[in-house]
Amino acid sequence: MALNPIPLLGGKSVHCINEQQMAEAWRLAEEEPASALKIQGYLKEIETQLTRNERAALAFVIIQKLKNSVPF
């Protein structure tokens, strides 16, 4: 477990998603009122329009874009 919280904002750590990051992602997607509504809406749309492989590709592309766009 990390000694200091690791934000979901990106950076080098985003390629190695740890339990803290995953817990925060689930919290935002399920419990944070404004974020959960947006995330669940996009997920529902993506799941109906993309195959499993396309969703996996999208996840990796999003991770790469986060890594490249936000300084750590």
pLDDT digits (tens, 9 = 90+) for 13-45: 445 667 888 899 999 999 999 999 999 999 999
Cβ(42)–Cβ(24) under 8 Å? no
Burial class of residue 69 (count of CB atoms within 10 Å of its CB; 0-12, 13-18, 19+) = exposed
To which H or E segment does residue 65 belong?
A: helix 52-69
Q: Looking at residue 12, what is its pLDDT?
A: 53
Domain boundaries, the chain: 19-69
pTM above 0.75, yes or no: no
Matching residue, tokens 């995330």: 39
pLDDT category at 8 given cuts 50, 70, 90 is low
